[in-house]
Structure 1
Amino acid sequence: MTLLTALSGQPASMTPSAHGPYQELYQQLYGETHGCEEAARHFLQAQLALVREAPSELPQMPEQLPAWIEQRCADVAQAYADYLEQRQQGLPRRYFQNKAHALYFLQRVGPTKQVDGAWLNGLLRYWQDPRFDGLLTTYLEELGDGEAAQNHVVIYRKLLSDHDADSEAGLDDDHYLQGALQLALGLCAEEFLPEIIGFNLGYEQLPLHLLITAYELSELGIDPYYFTLHVTIDNASSGHACKAAQSVLSLLPLGEGRADFYRRVAQGYRLNDLGPGTTAVIKQFNLQDEVVAMLERKRTFGQHMHSDYCRFEGKTVNQWLAKPGQIGDFLKALEDKGWIKRNQDPAESRFWQLIEGAGAAMFGVFSGYEKQLMHDWIAGDWISSQRVPPVRPGRGSRFSREQHRPADPDTQALVDSLWKLPDDQQLTALIPWMSARRHSTPAGLYATRRFIQLRARLR
């Protein structure tokens, strides 16, 4: 049995080999393709087996969860206060060396952030059961209650787009693991309900890294709104963390199945530990290695595109790009020739002048993220005298619903399909449009708003 078969329950020959198994599974589940539910089930069984014997940090009795969450929140608040005091005393940023480092992080957690809330998708069918109210409220708020300005996936995609960092180039297969887990849970709600409740309990806790990330993104001129939104919405007093604990107690069986249910909740909670977490992703960054890897990925596109009149160490640019593994030496040759002046203002380097600016010879060759990598690598210890003002959360992220936008055909078709249906059948018809793949589209946003309206009417 291959790794892919073990992960997805499908023969490897059925799936393209261009990507790793987690990415392939992620795309299959996200795309809602044939066999995705069976693949999700096999995947979850395999992942739960990995955490079955891991120690649990949950309290022994579920009734202790509210107090446990409150204490965790207090501990995080104190740790964040300590962090702020350290920064005020002059200590450097704890997470991000430079802006390129922050964009690297945003890219690599992108597959997870772009399915935000997906683990709760399968619970929409329980809209009539008041025991699910906390979980459904959490999911609907992840979807922004149908408003693009508050939809978490829309916000995150805009964040990446604003910095021209929405490419998946350079991502490792492990970066798709956590997102695949969330998609799989959303597709298997009936079979894995306790695990979903436990996963939600873990995911909706307020972590220290969320607070520090938001603070340091702002310092680097990157809008932290996506992260500050989660700081407020996941609070322990009335937010998602509180609702997560209440949901465990609301859905806990009253009879003999109680202990087994809570055991499965704990297993679902531990699924949050699989895959590289925030701090692990941050620690993986090495600026030199990232620059080399980025240029190596672009090498095949540029190896025949340069003239031969410039030579570095006796080689033309095309010769430097002709074979893999030469990029590091090529950068050193550019330094020796004076085309790159490390630890100085990048504007003084001839190579930077070739890639930055409307009149640059290689204008458009590098994305915004790729240019930021080059900029920060060249700059090194040099610090610009121009201070980047901190970005206030939400600046540039909030956008109102357009009143005169062109009609969306999916939305119009959905509206047309609903108008003859009774309210309860409309709710059933809307649910598919609130999946991870669709909820951020115009039709998905409309479906979310209509679902909320009808659910309130029928309750």
Structure 2
Amino acid sequence: MTLLTALSGQPASLTDSALGRHQRVYQQLYGETPDAAELAREYLEDQLAQVEQTDCDLPEAPEQLTAWVQQRCAAVAQAYADYLEQRQQGRPRRYFHNKAHALYVLQRVAPTKQVDGAWLYGLLRYWQDQRFDGLLTTYLEELGDGEAAQNHVVIYRKLLSDHDADSEAGLEDEHYLQGALQLALGLCAEEFLPEVIGYNLGYEQLPLHLLITAYELSELGIDPYYFTLHVTIDNASSGHACKAAQAVLGLLPLGEGRADFYRRVAAGYRLNDLGPGTTAVIQQFNLHDEVVAMLERKRTFGQHMHSDYCRFEGQTVNQWLAKPGQIGDFLNALQDKGWIKRNQDPAESRFWQLIEGAGAAMFGVFSAAEKQLLHDWIAADWASGQRVPPVRPGRGSRLARDHHRPADPDTQALADSLWNLPDEQQLNALIPWLSARRHSSPAGLYATRRFIQLRARLR
């Protein structure tokens, strides 16, 4: 069972021992299984126990939150200015050694990005309560206000697809933790309201890594629009970071229970620290190890597909691929025989000539992302002198609005079901279509736009 399977609506069984706990929970919650709410509650309780004794940098008094947000934003802005000055002085990229490194990171944070905003889903039921306006605005903006070109999940999927990097191969169970948390919070908003708004407070702060990531992706020829979009909407002046602090203050009890509520807000805030963050994922990358791991995953598919014409150190290719653990030695053998010439233009390597180009003997065996991995490993020091033209951040213009496409049966069925309902009943009927699983579909985009229209009319 895979992430792609989950995205197609086929949930995994909790008894599937091939999956780790976080991935199983992720797929069950995403798949909206009948026991999803109970599973989400248990999962949240377990994760909150993990952060119960951890440190928290929130101010002691909630009234200090606005100033705290502004100070954090100012510190990030100064750190980014320092980074830009260092780059202008000739310092190398801080995060990504090469394009393969960047794609590696984009793939491993994908389970979280594929459910962007999901922690706020359960607050839609409070659409009549003005205290939730900032949080609902945040969620609806994550959904692009129903426009495919601005829907964060649609944008991220397209980013992966553009680089043929939409496979979950190589993902570990820990990469699903934050996504599972977000889905669980979205399903348990009523019971865990302080934790939801605390998590939102932490997640919506503008981090330094977002700014640096956008800058370096552009240098590597990867459209940074998903990341630049978050830079603008997460600002401390009027964006999601500001709204997050205002939500805490607006929902904080005035009398008894105030201290306990804020304590729970802090617990939800600390949930952001669980699992590997973006900078940790960046640091985990090892180019050689990833090449070996990628070829090891493909080994079983190719171990009987090669002729016996070529031998390397006395073994055929099929023999090299017959047993696990031989890939590293096989790559050394290819180098010793001159089929791979490290630190040179990959086009000079016979191995690369076999996999790149329409007439290549192994055309189609490797995805574009896998070929990028091999390319950067072969090129190594040679690639450091090559410059990739920077990419200007896009604006999603290549993503057509869903209502310009052929009629979608789910959209038509949803529209028909709303036909005779009063406005308020329509609005409540639309909420399930704004879930993590559905909102990026044509019907979900339609439902988001209709939800916004009805909410404005009824307020």
TM-score higher than 0.5: yes
Q: Please give the secondary structure, in 1, of the residue aligned with 2:235.
A: coil
Aligned match of 2:132: 132
Q: Which amino acid is 2:33 matched to? A: T
Q: Which amino acid is 1:411 matched to? A: T
Aligned match of 2:297: 297
Aligned match of 2:351: 351
Quote the offset at 1:397 in angstroms.
6.0
Quote the offset at 1:400 in angstroms.
3.5
Quote the offset at 1:402 in angstroms.
5.4
Q: Which amino acid is 2:243 matched to? A: K
Quote the offset at 1:18 in angstroms.
1.8
Are residue 452 (structure 1) and residue 459 (structure 2) matched? Answer: no
Distance 1:300 1:281 in 2: 27
Distance 2:56 2:109 in 1: 25
Q: Is the 8 A contact 2:149 2:395 kept in 1?
A: no
Give the 3 Å change call, closer, same or farther, for CA 395–452 of structure 1 in structure 2. Answer: closer
Aligned match of 2:7: none
Quote the offset at 1:13 in angstroms.
8.5
Q: Is the 8 A contact 2:13 2:24 kept in 1?
A: no
Distance 1:113 1:91 in 2: 30
TM-score, normalised to structure 1, is 0.96
Q: Please give the secondary structure, in 1, of the residue aligned with 2:383.
A: coil
Q: Is the 8 A contact 1:148 1:445 kept in 2?
A: yes
Aligned match of 1:270: 270
Distance 2:397 2:333 in 1: 42
Question: After superposition, where does 1:325-340 map in structure 2 within 5 Å?
Answer: 325-340=325-340
Q: Which amino acid is 1:309 matched to? A: Y
> What does the per-residue CA deviation read over 1:327-359, in whole Å, with 9 as the maximum and x for residues that have no partner?
000000000111000000000000000000111
Aligned match of 2:182: 182
Q: Which amino acid is 1:133 matched to? A: D
Question: After superposition, where does 1:112-191 map in structure 2 within 5 Å?
Answer: 112-191=112-191
> What does the per-residue CA deviation read over 1:420-439, in whole Å, with 9 as the maximum and x for residues that have no partner?
00000000100000000000
Aligned match of 1:318: 318
Q: Please give the secondary structure, in 2, of the residue aligned with 1:104.
A: helix
Aligned match of 2:240: 240
Distance 2:51 2:65 in 1: 21
Give the 3 Å change call, closer, same or farther, for CA 395–308 of structure 1 in structure 2. Answer: farther
Quote the offset at 1:386 in angstroms.
5.5
Q: Is the 8 A contact 1:114 1:156 kept in 2?
A: yes
Give the 3 Å change call, closer, same or farther, for CA 13–436 of structure 1 in structure 2. Answer: closer
Are residue 216 (structure 1) and residue 216 (structure 2) matched? Answer: yes
Distance 2:42 2:403 in 1: 45
Q: Name the % identity.
A: 86
> What does the per-residue CA deviation read over 1:265-316, in whole Å, with 9 as the maximum and x for residues that have no partner?
0000000000000110000000000000000000000000000011000000
Quote the offset at 1:19 in angstroms.
1.4
Distance 1:389 1:437 in 2: 36
Q: Which amino acid is 2:229 matched to? A: L
Question: After superposition, where does 1:326-405 map in structure 2 within 5 Å?
Answer: 326-383=326-383, 387-394=387-394, 398-401=398-401, 404-405=404-405
Distance 1:325 1:403 in 2: 51
Q: Is the 8 A contact 1:434 1:444 kept in 2?
A: yes
Alpha-carbon RMSD: 1.2
Distance 2:277 2:391 in 1: 25
Aligned match of 2:434: 434
Q: Which amino acid is 1:286 matched to? A: N
Give the 3 Å change call, closer, same or farther, for CA 205–84 of structure 1 in structure 2. Answer: same
Aligned match of 1:6: none
Distance 2:14 2:263 in 1: 35
Q: Structure 2: which 5+ runs fail to align?
A: 1-11
Quote the offset at 1:14 in angstroms.
4.6
Give the 3 Å change call, closer, same or farther, for CA 412–403 of structure 1 in structure 2. Answer: closer
TM-score, normalised to structure 2, is 0.96
Quote the offset at 1:401 in angstroms.
1.4
Q: Which amino acid is 1:410 matched to? A: D
Q: Is the 8 A contact 2:14 2:25 kept in 1?
A: no
Distance 2:328 2:207 in 1: 38
> What does the per-residue CA deviation read over 1:216-270, in whole Å, with 9 as the maximum and x for residues that have no partner?
0000000000000000000000000000000001100011110000000000000
Question: After superposition, where does 1:185-200 map in structure 2 within 5 Å?
Answer: 185-200=185-200
Q: Is the 8 A contact 1:155 1:397 kept in 2?
A: no
Quote the offset at 1:399 in angstroms.
2.5
Question: After superposition, where does 1:100-119 map in structure 2 within 5 Å?
Answer: 100-119=100-119
Give the 3 Å change call, closer, same or farther, for CA 249–18 of structure 1 in structure 2. Answer: same
Give the 3 Å change call, closer, same or farther, for CA 278–438 of structure 1 in structure 2. Answer: same
Q: Is the 8 A contact 1:223 1:397 kept in 2?
A: no
Quote the offset at 1:384 in angstroms.
7.2
Aligned match of 1:7: none
Quote the offset at 1:53 in angstroms.
1.2
Q: Is the 8 A contact 1:160 1:166 kept in 2?
A: yes
Q: Is the 8 A contact 1:206 1:231 kept in 2?
A: yes
Matched residues, number = 448
Q: Is the 8 A contact 1:158 1:397 kept in 2?
A: no
Aligned match of 1:3: none
Quote the offset at 1:398 in angstroms.
4.4
Q: Which amino acid is 1:128 matched to? A: Q
